[in-house]
A and B are shown apart, each in its own frame.
Chain A
Amino acid sequence: MRDWNSIVVDRYFDDIKMDVRIGVGILDISRDIPSHLVRKRSFDMTFWMINQSLKLSICGYRNFHSTVSEILEESIAAGDQLCVVMCQGMMALRLAEMIRRFSEYYKSNPNFFVLGHIMAHKGRYPGLHRQMFVVNLKKWVELGKPEFNEIGIFWDRSETYSNYTLSDETISAEYTPAWIDGAEGTQEVFDVQDGSNWIDIACKNKIRIDNFDLEMRECKAFLYPYSDTDILEKIWYKLLDEVSIDDSETKLSDKLSNYTQRAWIRKLAYQEFIEKDRVYAFNTERLSSEGVRAPGPIDSLFSAAAGFKPLALLRNNGFHENTIVNYYDWCGASLNYKKHLLETWDGIDFDKWLLENDLKYNFSSTYRGNYSEFWKKEIEMEFGSAEEFKILWDRYRKLKHNFYVIDIVNEPEKLFAEINAQSGIKVLWTTNIWASLALHWNVEPETLEEKWLKFQSMIPKDLVLYGQDYLARDINNRITNNLNYTHPRYIERWPTL
Chain B
Amino acid sequence: MSLEILEQYWKDNYKTYQYKYPDFFDPKWTLIESGWPYFRLSAFDNQPFKEMHAEAVALAEHFHSHRDDYGNGWKSLTIHGLNEDTQSLNQYGDDRRKTLSQLDWTWVADRCPVTKKFLTDVWPAEFLNRVRFMYLEPGGYILPHQDRPDDQKRLSVCNISLNNPEGCEFVFKDHGLVPFDDNGSAFLMDISNTHAVWNRSDKPRIHMIVHYEIGRRLRDFFYVLRSSYYTNRGNE
Contact = CB atoms under 8 A, between A and B. Distances in A.
A152 B220 contact: no
Interface string B90-116: 000000110010000000000000000
Contact of B126 (A31, A152, A497): A152
B100 A151 contact: no
A496 to B, nearest CB: 10
Interface stretch (B53-61, B70-78, B194-202, B209-217): B209-217
B223 to A, nearest CB: 5
Nearest to B213: A156
A156 B96 contact: yes
B184 to A, nearest CB: 18
Interface in A424-441: none
Interface string B207-236: 000000111111110110011001100000
A241 interface: no
A151 B213 contact: no
A497 B96 contact: no
Interface in B119-144: 126-127, 129
A152 B227 contact: no
A73 interface: no
Nearest to A152: B216
Interface residues of B, number: 22
Contact of B226 (A34, A149, A152): A34
Contacts of A351: none
Nearest to A147: B216
Nearest to A494: B223
Contact of A230 (B24, B126, B227): B24
Given A31-B220, A32-B223, A495-B227, A153 B97 contact: no
Residue among B24, B96, B218, B219 facing the most chain A CB atoms (10 A cut-off): B219
B80 to A, nearest CB: 14
Q: Is the interface of B mostly helix, strand, loop or mixed?
A: helix
A153 B222 CA distance: 12
Interface string B160-190: 0000000000000000000000000000000
Contacts of B96: 156
Nearest to B220: A31
Contacts of B24: 230
A88 to B, nearest CB: 14
Contact of A149 (B97, B100, B216, B220): B216
Contacts of A230: 24
A155 B127 CA distance: 11
Contacts, number: 48
Residue among A150, A152, A153, A156 facing the most chain B CB atoms (10 A cut-off): A156
B223 A152 contact: no
Interface string A465-497: 000000000000000000000000000001101
Contacts of B100: 156-157
Interface residues of A, number: 17
Nearest to A196: B216
Nearest to B227: A497
Residue among B24, B215, B218, B227 facing the most chain A CB atoms (10 A cut-off): B215
Interface string A211-237: 000000000000000000010000000
B214 A152 contact: yes
Interface in A154-189: 154-157
A45 B127 CA distance: 36
B215 A152 contact: yes
A151 B25 CA distance: 19
Given A34-B230, A230-B24, A497-B226, A154 B213 contact: yes
Contacts of A149: 216
Contact of A31 (B25, B213, B216, B219): B219
Contacts of B230: 34, 497
Interface in A114-172: 149-157
Given A157-B97, A157-B127, A497-B226, 4 more contacts: A32-B222, A152-B218, A156-B129, A497-B231
25 contacts: A31-B223, A32-B219, A32-B222, A32-B223, A150-B216, A150-B217, A150-B218, A151-B216, A151-B219, A152-B215, A152-B216, A152-B217, A152-B218, A153-B218, A154-B213, A154-B215, A156-B96, A156-B97, A156-B100, A156-B129, A157-B100, A157-B215, A497-B226, A497-B227, A497-B231
